[in-house]
Amino acid sequence: MELAIGIILGCCALGAGMAMIAGIGPGIGEGNAVAKACEAIGRQPESRGAVTTTMLMGCAVAETTGLYALVIAILLIFLAPGRLVNILVETMNTLG
Amino acid sequence: MKKLDETVKKETLYIAAWTLILSAVMQSVFLVIGLWKPDVLFGNLVSAAAAVLNFLLMGITVQNAVEKDEKDAAQLMRFSQSMRMLMQLALGAVGVFFFNPIAAILPLFFPRAAIAFRPLFGKKQSAGEDE
C-alpha cells in the first residue's frame, strides 16, 4: 500500500515537473519578441507607444502556453495525489 | 522608482476591467448552477489578482526592457517570465488548495480572453496610435 502511494506521489511530481518544461518556450519567445522590439524602437523611436502596446499583447498571448502547463502542474501537485490515493484506498477496501 | 508608462497603465486597466467583468460572469454562473460558496469568491479574488498583477509586472518589465540593448532586454524578459510564473504558481496553489479549484484556475486565463475580445469591442488604436 505504501509503495503504491509512493509511486502515485512520485508520478504526480514527475508529471508536474515535465509539464513545466512547457514554461521554457514562452520565456524564450518573449525574450526574442522584446529584443526585436528594442531593435524596432531603436530604428523608429516615434513608434514606441504602438510597439509597446503590440508587444504587451503578444507577450500576454505567448504566456498563455506557459499558463496551461502551470495549471496542469498545480493540479498534479495539489489535487491529483489526494484524489488518486482516495481511489486507491477505496479500491483496496472493495477488494478486501 | 520609475513612473509607470502611459501605455502600460492603459493596457493594465483594460485587462483589469475585463478580468472584473469576466469574474462577475463566472460568479453569476456559479450562483445560477447553485454551486456558489464563499470559497468560490475568495478563489476568484486571489486568482484574478494574480492574473492582473502578472500583466502589470510584465508591462513594467517591457517598459524597462525597451530602454536596454537587445541582449539585456531578452535576458531581463526571460528572468521576469520565470519569476512571474513562480508568483502565479504560488498564488494559484493558494487558490486551488484553500479555495475552489475551478474558481481559482479560470481567472488566470481572463487576460487572454480580454485580448481575444479586443478586436470585437476595442477601438482600432493599436496600429497607428502615435502617428
Q: Domain for residue A43, yes or no?
A: yes
C-alpha cell at A56: 504587451
| Helix intervals (H) in chain B | 6-32, 38-65, 70-98, 101-105, 110-121
CATH number at residue A43: 1.20.20.10
pLDDT tens per residue, range A10-43:
999 999 999 988 888 888 888 888 888 888 888 8
Query: Can you give the pLDDT at residue B51?
Result: 92
* Contact map slice: B 84-103 vs A, CB within 8 A: 85, 88-89, 92-93, 96-97, 101
Percent of chain A with pLDDT over 70: 100
Q: Residue A42 sits in which domain range?
A: 27-95
Q: Domain for residue A12, yes or no?
A: no
Q: How many independent structural domains does chain A possess? A: 1
Q: Domain for residue A4, yes or no?
A: no
Of A15, A1, A21, A4, the closest CA to residue A79 belongs to: A15
Which chain B residues touch A13 with a CB distance below 8 Å? none
Q: Domain for residue A91, yes or no?
A: yes
Q: Does pLDDT of B130 surpass 60?
A: no
Q: Domain for residue A22, yes or no?
A: no
